[in-house]
Chains A and B, each alone.
Chain A
Amino acid sequence: AQTVTQSQPEMSVQEAETVTLSCTYDTSENNYYLFWYKQPPSRQMILVIRQEAYKQQNATENRFSVNFQKAAKSFSLKISDSQLGDTAMYFCAFMRGLAGNQFYFGTGTSLTVIP
């Protein structure tokens, strides 16, 4: 079975600073996808960034980037120039690449951006 672990239940960061959220996972699969989703107070789940396991290059989306370490099964999210709107719950998720459609979610990290 796949497991996803987020070891930081809560984090805070000063506005304009950089913060890194951690995520580790356990799988025997070789083909899979990893995601970070953001859930603000509105509770709408928003896709932040995705990474294909077969790609060595780390994904980047504007201020959001990941550090994907396949051998270590680590997938951290870096948020640069933090903004107040980044305050949210962040969930790391794993999906098998072939027949499996299911997402496996971590327990989430609550991020607060302090003005």
Chain B
Amino acid sequence: GAVVSQHPSWVICKSGTSVKIECRSLDFQATTMFWYRQFPKQSLMLMATSNEGSKATYEQGVEKDKFLINHASLTLSTLTVTSAHPEDSSFYICSARDWDTQYFGPGTRLTVL
């Protein structure tokens, strides 16, 4: 079946630093990947849609300059949280679309001190 990996699985950083999260589709090519944020006991909140070779589409209220997305190949999308602050602490999940289904990575827990 379709597998999506995400790295790192957890990261702790100091306020003001930047953190990069990678999302890879391991056994299929994904022209479209998605980045979500999830708060405890809540549903997934779509942050942006990442399209290979073009600019990402951000959801309303998501700061483009803070959450930089790069989808440089058909198997890799990255999310960089720039100048991270404690309020950015959360669980970030990526997914990749394989035809008509989305497959999810295992998530990254980000803690900003």
Interface on A for B, CB 8 Å cutoff?
33, 35, 37, 42-47, 50, 52, 91, 95, 97, 101-103, 105-108, 110
Contact = CB atoms under 8 A, between A and B. Distances in A.
A45 B46 contact: no
A97 B44 contact: no
A101 B38 CA distance: 19
Contacts, number: 48
A22 B64 CA distance: 36
A97 B101 CA distance: 10
A102 B46 contact: yes
Interface residues of B, number: 20
Contacts of B46: 102-103
A105 B102 contact: no
Contacts of A107: 42-43
A95 B106 CA distance: 21
